[in-house]
Amino acid sequence: MTVRQRARDLGIPFDGETGPLNAITDVAGVEVGFTTLIDGDGALQIGKGPVRTGVTIIHPRGKDRAFDGVWAGRFSLNGNGEMTGVHWIDEAGAFSGPIAITNTHSVGLAHHGILRWMIAHPRFNAEAQLWMLPVSAETCDEYLNDINGQHVTEAHVLAACDSARPGPVAEGNVGGGTGMVCYEFKGGTGTASRRFTLGDETFTIGVLVQANFGKRHDLSVRGVPVGRHLTDNAVWGTAQNPDVQGSIIGIAITDAPLSAIQLQRVARRMGLGVGRTGSPSEDGSGDIFLAMSTHNDVCEKAGTSEAMLRYTVNAHINPLFLATVEATEEAIINALAAAETMTGQNGHTVHAINHDDLMAVMKQYGR
């Protein structure tokens, strides 16, 4: 797989200061891993392929600290999708373990694979970890992938968990994003980060998206109606696919001190980042977001009845909200910029956005 230029490298004028990698791994401790499954061509045979799918794993505190929880909050902009574990996150404001993102019909397998990985972890203690509620999320890759074949296995999840690393993050046709479509271009995995200041301290937020949503005519890049100009090779609106709308999963991690309620507010702002790219979050789209903070330890099993929690005063939180919107917007455009043209089941082809054509439209609007 060739490595395509990221959106910022093309000259798209994003706002805000990025971290050194412009990725979710700019937050210290975060590790990301992938298993990418590409196999077969031609006519769909359920259970045989063609296969265009995978799984993405995010360790908020790294593999070694899998049982050290993070404070969290989530938001469903439109709920036609799945993210497991969110009821406990709503209740407790925290969770532990890796996060998986995969295709719709493999979300249970990914959940099961996380459990297998955690049970095999050197720090697993059957008495301390009587039960676990992993986070596993999905978007639908049925246009390119043999989704009903359920080709993601526990072994693939274990491999993604084990292979996760800090550092640069692959984008486009990788992991859970392998078979995804975004604004009727090839979509998939994208990431970005922002640095921001609260009081006299500087923090980082990183966002990773699995982008599989949107109709071509809605696509906007930094306010430019790109989708109204780049109309060739659109996927939907055909007799076979009259009104497909797709989904997006967004994961945000920050090192800023926040309460669980504040993290719910951060998760909501990810929806504004999606909106900047043009989507109205249609009825058939599962637009679900999870935000976490690694600043405070989760001390539910500390053996004491009290614990100290540092958080930001609400009146000072706006720079974080803006950073969240900006990072989400750029992560989506990075997914589009990085993805490559892919042909999947029954010869279905989704074309990558052409960088030269994209920048020609941007220039036309003075961007």
> Which of these is catalytic: 136, 259, 285, 293?
285
Active site residue 163: no
Active site residue 193: no
Active site residue 76: no
> Which of these is catalytic: 247, 279, 281, 293?
247
> Which of these is catalytic: 26, 146, 255, 287?
287
CB 34 within 8 A of CB 175: yes
Residue 103: exposure state from Cβ atoms within 10 A (0-12, 13-18, ≥19): buried
CB 215 within 8 A of CB 183: yes
Rounded alpha-carbon distances, angstroms, from residue 219 to 178, 227, 243, 278, 340: 20, 5, 16, 5, 18
Catalytic residues: 247, 285, 287
